[in-house]
Structure 1
């Protein structure tokens, strides 16, 4: 029996696709400590902009093929693109659409899904190109940040995190360059990865610019730290 690694699951999904018009992405989420297979560029953008780095989202999952939800009558069924838990404890159903969805031309499918979300105790949220366009410049910087997290996922950096937490608590804000200079004995890759982890966990904020991360990238502690 073949080993069920994330890579094998990714290849199996790739071979089983009927359409190759969109990209398939294998990524690692620090927020849920799991590998994810994302079915399109739109899903990748949604993960980076509205899930992984979004402090109001504390948990999320991508429903499997057999995870279907029905309305109160048990009739029509649907599978949300993402189910998320927000900081208030509420459930959200995320629908990720390519292109633009005009409010005055919302389809019968979307109306039905919104009602089914309510029937299942969730808030329906629709994400189309308009929710991604203004933040498009953030996608590559955020993807670069996630590379640090993925590289260190199997390494023990708890001591680096603790040292960084102490530094962040004392300094409260600064730049990546200042952080590296203040911790010269710790591996730079581990320090940057730990800071990104804290950002994903909502403990610090990172300024996202087109060149992020650089030594000039600014960070600041959140009040809840």
Structure 2
């Protein structure tokens, strides 16, 4: 018999666009790219989302739990799989899949049936060892995303214009400098605007060694 906890978990996941119930760790988080809260069904999905999808300025949008018929070139027939659909800013479309074990990140050519039409498709398999390497980076980006989430329903036009003027005039610097030069405004809103700019690809931030903070170095993209 399904427990009340399992029913509530399934309802929560479905309400945020999740595909299926799972016993793995459940993440409910905000995506600036999609402009909504999303559900991620495991730690691996969370790591890949934040480090490789949300933080990648070359990606326009993505969809977890995308059910598609796909055939790798060396295979003879199509197989129905649950993958991640990735839309690139260049207009291209890719399919990504998370796998256990070692193997890094491998891309290969395949064919997918989308809206009833067969089309060539780049498919990428992402293995556990690759995700392990990205885990620290993901933790650092999660802190930045938290500042975006706190202003997710706000336009903040005045604060954005003030920040954008400073960013254009400096071209590079630290987050602390941006806060100092916009000190007439709420610093938490300014941090939210900075994180929006970083996720949108307007500026690049260096999170190689340290999480997002006053000492974070940024550059105009």
TM over 0.5: yes
Which residue of 90, 110, 119 maps to 1:115? 110
Task: From the superposition, tell whether residues 188 and 96 of structure 1 become closer, same or farther in structure 2 (CA, over 3 Å).
Answer: same
Task: From the superposition, tell whether residues 80 and 121 of structure 1 become closer, same or farther in structure 2 (CA, over 3 Å).
Answer: farther
Which residue of 41, 44, 47 maps to 2:46? 44
The match for 1:34 is 36
Contact 1:31 1:59 in 2 (8 A): yes
Cα deviation, 1:71-114, whole Å, max 9, x if unaligned, reads 5xxx74423421111232111001112332489xx9xxx99xx6
RMSD: 3.0
Other structure's SS at 1:134 match: helix
Quick one: distance in 2 between partners of 1:11 and 1:83? 18
| Structure 1: stretches of 5+ with no match in the other structure | 1-6
The match for 2:205 is 206
Cα deviation, 1:189-219, whole Å, max 9, x if unaligned, reads 1111111111111111111045422211111
The match for 2:3 is none
More strand, by proportion? 2
Quick one: distance in 2 between partners of 1:215 and 1:182? 13
The match for 2:12 is 9
The match for 1:221 is 220
| Structure 2: stretches of 5+ with no match in the other structure | 1-9, 72-76
Number of equivalent positions: 202
**Residue 175 in structure 1 maps to residue 174 in structure 2:** yes
**Residue 142 in structure 1 maps to residue 141 in structure 2:** yes
The TM-score with structure 1 as length reference comes to: 0.78
The match for 2:83 is 81
More helix, by proportion? 1
Cα deviation, 1:170-194, whole Å, max 9, x if unaligned, reads 1101111111000011111111111
The TM-score with structure 2 as length reference comes to: 0.79
The match for 1:4 is none
